[in-house]
Amino acid sequence: MKIALIGAHGKVGRLLVPILADHGHDVSGVVRHESQLPLVEELGGTPLLLDVEHASTEEITEALRGHDAVVWSAGAGGGSPERTYAVDRDAAIRSMDAATAAGARRYVMVSWIGSVPDHGIAPDNSFFPYADAKLAADDHLRGTDLDWTILGPGTLTNDDATGKISIDPDDAGNTSRGNVALVVAQALGSPSTVGRFVRFVDGETPVLEAFGR
């Protein structure tokens, strides 16, 4: 499978590129700075320079042509509310429209565990722009004809990957970025995840078992 990973230089992306490459996939690591290109190559991916925050739908479409799948793992990283909406909502939505136009049918969105209409984040909370932007992007993805999956990890940590998770937990918990990368890789090839919002945290169920072999 030829996969475009948007946000390949991010903390999850850097863990995901070698996993996908080891699985035999051809990974285009999309980054926005030239200085980030060498790392993508070192990790086993093919660097692709594109600033999705400022790129038009047409420009993103051209970048995605020839790909089978798109993974969105980019984000503003807690910047200003304006930039959060620009990246996590607007650029993400353009990437979905571009994936449709380019014929990249499979789309996996890395979101967050609370991305539901009643997420409970107050408008005056500094986290609200992120929650609001992600929900808008997720809802747009649900309305496309893409074979989509939305992944909702809990609070992200830099703990080592355990390869074990808990799906639809009663309470939000921690999720290692390493486990997020493993889940993305497994979800890409798991038809059972198409059309689903998969909420998960670190747990006791092996990822392979959670989604079936």
Q: Which residues are catalytic, by number?
A: 130
Do residues 112 and 153 make contact, with C-beta atoms less than 8 angstroms apart? yes
Letter string b/e over residues 8-29, b meaning 16 or more CB atoms within 10 A of that residue's CB: bbbbbbbbbbebbbeeebebbb
Euclidean distance between CA atoms 15 and 134, whole angstroms? 22
Residue type, 9: H
**Which structure tokens are listed for 90?**
């607007």
- As to burial, measured by CB atoms within 10 angstroms (0-12 exposed, 13-18 middle, 19+ buried), residue 123 is exposed
